[in-house]
Amino acid sequence: MLKPDPSAGPSAGPSDQDAPSGWFHTTHWSVVLAAGRDSTATAEAALERLCETYWLPAYVFVRSLGYSTQDAEDHTQNFFMHLLSTHLHSQADPNRGRFRNFLLTSLRHFLADARSREEAAKRGGGSMRLRLDPDRLASFEAAWQQSPPSPERAYDEHWALSLAETVLARLRTEFSQIGRTEFFDELKGYVWGQQATTPYAELATRFGLTQSGARVTVHRLRRRFAELLRSEVANTVATPEEVEAEIKYLAQLLCG
């Protein structure tokens, strides 16, 4: 967790790289495999949260195939209901590599199988409806209308965006726990998203820091973002050896 520093603002917390050997505690693979073995409310809730996190990559893939916005929304909803209700997740195999590839392959098979799609819609019964953020949908649609990406590229790019947004949310939570949410909201542009334009001198005055302290805080924030991103990427691959390659690829996607 981030801790306050009277001269330099919040510091980066303990590195996720310092985790004990034996791989990271809970990965997307382990969530899916647990749901395949166990139908408890806890396992199902964890899988639902995973679906909520990655609905956008699935949606943009379907939309980029040429489906209408309404059909793309329906197929996305039905796919995740299918994932939850048919134990498709029991077919997950971490030895096959990246979780995003498993999800995309499953989505391809789902779209190709009209019968599965119809049965999923019947079984779902509205028990789980994803919260499709209209602002994120509108943002994608605006960009898609100008230059439709390939379905695979669209999927990967939005997978990367989902990872980055998850990391930002984790980082914001760390700041909120020490009562510095406003501070984080001001600084996050230095790390991700719209480029920050607030001069260090203004930051220092507003938040009671020295200019050097403001610079150190931004440096620590960037370092902590990198640590959390590494942790999040680690959740999506099968082995530690895959982390570096995945981070490099995601960085290419995020930087355009």
**Regarding predicted confidence, which is higher, 30 or 123?**
30
115 has a pLDDT exceeding 60: no
Out of 24-33, 118-127, 165-174, least confident range? 118-127
Residue 129 confidence (pLDDT): 62
- N- to C-terminal Cα separation, the chain: 31
User: Is residue 249 included in any domain, yes or no?
Assistant: yes
CB atoms within 10 A of CB 254: 14
User: Is residue 47 included in any domain, yes or no?
Assistant: yes
Containing domain of residue 185, as a range?
16-124+135-254
Residue 23 confidence (pLDDT): 33
Question: Is 109 in contact with 146 (CB distance < 8 Å)?
Answer: no
> Stretch 36-55: mean pLDDT, rounded?
68
**φ and ψ of 37, to 5 deg:** -95, -25
Q: How far apart are CA 157 and CA 165, in angstroms?
A: 12
Q: How far apart are CA 34 and CA 40, in angstroms?
A: 9
User: Is residue 95 included in any domain, yes or no?
Assistant: yes
| Model confidence, pTM | 0.71
For 220-254, write each residue's pLDDT tens digit: 999 999 999 988 888 788 777 888 888 899 888 88
Sequence letter at residue 26? T
Max mean pLDDT range (22-31, 147-156, 188-197): 147-156
User: Is residue 151 included in any domain, yes or no?
Assistant: yes
User: Is residue 11 included in any domain, yes or no?
Assistant: no
Residue 116 confidence (pLDDT): 56
Q: How far apart are CA 43 and CA 36, in angstroms?
A: 9
Q: What is the largest CA-CA distance in the chain?
A: 64
User: Is residue 45 included in any domain, yes or no?
Assistant: yes
Of the candidates 50, 128, 110, 98, the one whose C-alpha atom is nearest the C-alpha of residue 250 is 98
Question: Is 174 in contact with 182 (CB distance < 8 Å)?
Answer: no
How many angstroms separate the Cα of 7 from the Cα of each of 105, 184, 223?
50, 16, 18
User: Is residue 130 included in any domain, yes or no?
Assistant: no
What tokens appear for 85 in the block? 């209700």
User: Is residue 7 included in any domain, yes or no?
Assistant: no
15 has a pLDDT exceeding 80: no
For 33-164, list the strands marked E by DSSP.
none
Burial (CB < 10 A; 0-12, 13-18, 19+), residue 155, is buried
Domain count, the chain: 1
Sequence letter at residue 230? R
Out of 50-59, 64-73, 87-96, 230-239, least confident range? 87-96
Of the candidates 150, 147, 131, 191, the one whose C-alpha atom is nearest the C-alpha of residue 64 is 150
CA atoms lying within 13 Å on the CB side of residue 144: 24
For 188-207, write each residue's pLDDT tens digit: 888 876 666 788 898 889 88
Question: Is 98 in contact with 242 (CB distance < 8 Å)?
Answer: yes
> Stretch 68-80: mean pLDDT, rounded?
88
Output the average pLDDT for the chain: 75
**Regarding predicted confidence, which is higher, 162 or 48?**
162
25 has a pLDDT exceeding 60: no
